[in-house]
Amino acid sequence: MSLQTAEAQKGRIDVADFSLSYETLDGAVPAVSEAAIYVNPGEFVSIVGPSGCGKSTLLNAVAGFLKPTRGSVTVDGEDVDRPSADRGMVFQQYSLFPWMTVRQNVEFGLKMKGMDRSRRESAARTLLGLAGLLSFENQYPDRLSGGMKQRVGIVRALATGPKVLLLDEPFGALDAQTRVIMQQILTNMWQRLKISVLFVTHDIDEAIFLSDRVYCMTARPGTIKAEIAIPLERPRQQAMMMSSEFLALRRGLMSLIREESLKAMGGEVNDIALQGLDIDMHGQSLASLI
Amino acid sequence: MERAVLKLAEPPMSGGEEPVVPAPQAATAAAEASPPMRWFLTRAVRWFALHRQQLRTLLIGAISLALFLLSWHLLTKYRVSFHVRFVNVPSPAQVFESFTRAVDDVKFMQHVLLSCRRILFGFIMAAVVAIPLGLVMGRFRLIRDIVFPVSEVLRPIPAIAWVPMSIMLWPSNEESIVFITFLGSFFPILLNTLHGMAAVDPVLVRASQCLGAREISIFKDVYFPASLPSIFTGLTVGMGVAWVSLIAAEMISGQFGIGYFTWEAYSLVQYADIALGMICIGVLGLGSSAAIRGIGRLVMPWGRA
């Protein structure tokens, strides 16, 4: 019992005073500046923001692919200095190994851990069974649909028993119906495994539906603009997306993001320009100009 | 409501009564209700319908080859001489006769086997050196920067241009011919391996790192299998160039081999043997390419074959 509680306490992510810039001929270009986020053990946290705001950069730093220019990234108090199986990751692009069958893909992390063949085979089969993919265990990935590939991707990332799961817009390439189902599957797995999740998306509905808390990032250079707790009860149903509580949260986040998206697009794009109100037509109608 | 459901369920069962039954269902129903002969016929008809395009291609191919043989026959029969002279060119029948003699001839078979052995040695050595070199060059920038300039300088030199140098370099004629064959296939294999390494999707490498893979397994389990399709392209191209180089080397400096046989036939005024040698080289080249494709399919079962 005490072991169980100890397990549940693992997976705390701390990102403090995080800045990351890329070196170019014109000097350092900041991608993220002074961001600070945390994820409690077992918590589901999303980062939303306009495209190019550096949310994926932040996630890649937690995964250990990028080193911060300033600040620190720690998981359970340990500095993150390289990728490891403690931090499972699901990518936006399909990242299954095409030369391995579904089961071999899931087994890969266990093989790296040095687990023997029969044990990792049965572990992979159990996990695939949970995800409803057992009948595809011997298929190669190019036979699977996009949704199934991402499901295998999630199962593969969870197979090594990571402390945290990092997801980088994992459902971005899926159609709307498949995406909703995938969100449900992810929630179910998260609740069963009591794992910490850091989820990056530009889809506000997705962030609210899935998360305990949502961070909203500003346009480049990205900083954390707001932190919003999502008090919706669990388990969450799709019908909740129509509730007034959900819609209120959505409106709030929407206006935050919209402001930043307009900024990110730069130039003359503002509400007036979007409606075409300030275009001087010199007293003529558009039809007569054309 | 119930009636409607019933009616929907009916058509496949009753077959003939309903005129709106879709064709495949009708065929299934007919096949199930008839003797094996009928079943076999429906299958055959469907097989033909599904493979129509391929059958057409096969048929046209066969006609095309027959026309080629026919024109060869006519050109040689009437000894056509219209700037291009077919006067001494052997006819298909003469070449076939020469072939029937050759299959019983131990010496001819020795020529063929020796050429195959040279290809095998030269090609396998090229693969054994070029594939690991390409993999290492693709993974480690420093090694690439050291080796690449040298390979780029040597690469444009055709293997045949190496013949005199090769004779000086190697103590025996046999070794120098194998070396020429080696050189011919070496560069296509190296370049394609390098290309394969460069084209490895970085997200696969990152995925493997997130699953706990370290340098050796990233190399072995990600870079190598991801490059395999390119490597096999290189092997196929390399095999083609290996034959070109081998035949040229045998014609220039050989005493045995199918290239030498073809050249010798010309010197000895045995014109039918020239064509026999050429056809033999073509068939061997075709066979070795097919063998590599077959091995490729075995090694890469995940690819769409």
Is A241 in the B-facing interface, judged by CB distances under 8 Å? no
Q: Delimit the CATH 1.10.3720.10 region(s) of chain B.
A: 93-299
Instruction: Give me the architecture of the B93-299 domain, per CATH.
Output: Orthogonal Bundle (1.10)
Contacts of A83 in chain B (CB under 8 A): 206, 209-210
What are the residues facing A199 on neighbouring strands?
A46, A167
Average pLDDT along chain B, 305 residues, taken 10 residues at a time: 42 42 49 74 91 94 96 92 89 93 91 95 97 95 95 92 92 93 96 96 95 93 95 96 94 88 91 94 94 94 71
Whole-angstrom distance, CA of residue A215 vs CA of residue B109: 77
Q: What is the pLDDT, as a whole number, of residue B152? A: 93
Mark out the alpha helices in chain A (DSSP H runs). Answer: 2-8, 55-63, 102-112, 117-130, 146-159, 176-193, 204-210, 244-265, 271-275, 286-289
Is B302 in the A-facing interface, judged by CB distances under 8 Å? yes
DSSP 3-state of A202: coil
Q: Tell the burial category of A165 from Cβ atoms under 10 Å away from its Cβ (0-12, 13-18, 19+).
A: buried
Contact B304 A142 (CB under 8 A): yes
Q: Is residue A34 part of a domain?
A: yes
Tell whether omega for the bond before B132 is within 30 degrees of 0, i.e. cis. Answer: no
**Which CATH number covers residue A185?**
3.40.50.300
Angle subtended by helix axes B106-139 and B271-299, to nearest 10: 40
Q: Is residue A261 part of a domain?
A: yes
Q: What is the pLDDT, as a whole number, of residue A290? A: 53
* Residue B111 backbone zone (phi > 0: left; psi -120 to 50: alpha; other: beta): alpha
Q: What stretch of H or E contains B193? A: helix B173-198
Query: Is A256's pLDDT higher than 90?
Result: no
Using CB atoms, pick whichever of B203, B213, B226 lies closest to residue A112. Answer: B213
Contacts of B212 in chain A (CB under 8 A): 84-85, 109, 112-113, 160
Whole-angstrom distance, CA of residue A269 vs CA of residue A260: 11
Is B218 in the A-facing interface, judged by CB distances under 8 Å? no
Is A282 in the B-facing interface, judged by CB distances under 8 Å? no
**What is the distance in angstroms between the Cα of B222 and the nearest Cα belonging to chain A?**
8
Q: Is residue A52 part of a domain?
A: yes
Contacts of B221 in chain A (CB under 8 A): 97, 108
Whole-angstrom distance, CA of residue A240 vs CA of residue A185: 16
Total-model pTM: 0.81
Nearest CA in chain A to B301: A99
What are the residues facing A200 on neighbouring strands?
A47, A168
Contacts of B215 in chain A (CB under 8 A): none
Q: Is residue A155 part of a domain?
A: no
| ipTM, interface predicted TM-score of the complex | 0.85
Q: Is residue A237 part of a domain?
A: yes
**What is the distance in angstroms between the Cα of B148 and the nearest Cα belonging to chain A?**
28
Q: What stretch of H or E contains A101? A: none
Q: What is the pLDDT, as a whole number, of residue A286? A: 58
Q: Is residue A145 part of a domain?
A: no
Contact A157 B210 (CB under 8 A): yes
Q: Is residue A153 part of a domain?
A: no
Angle subtended by helix axes B224-253 and B173-198, to nearest 10: 150
For A54, the domain range is 2-86+162-289
* Number of separate helices (H) and strands (E) present in chain A: 10, 10
Q: Is residue A11 part of a domain?
A: yes
**What is the distance in angstroms between the Cα of B302 and the nearest Cα belonging to chain A?**
5
How many separate domains does chain A show? 1
By DSSP bridging, strand A164-168 and strand A70-75 are unpaired
Contact A98 B304 (CB under 8 A): no
* Number of separate helices (H) and strands (E) present in chain B: 15, 2
Q: Percentage of residues in chain A with pLDDT exceeding 70? A: 88
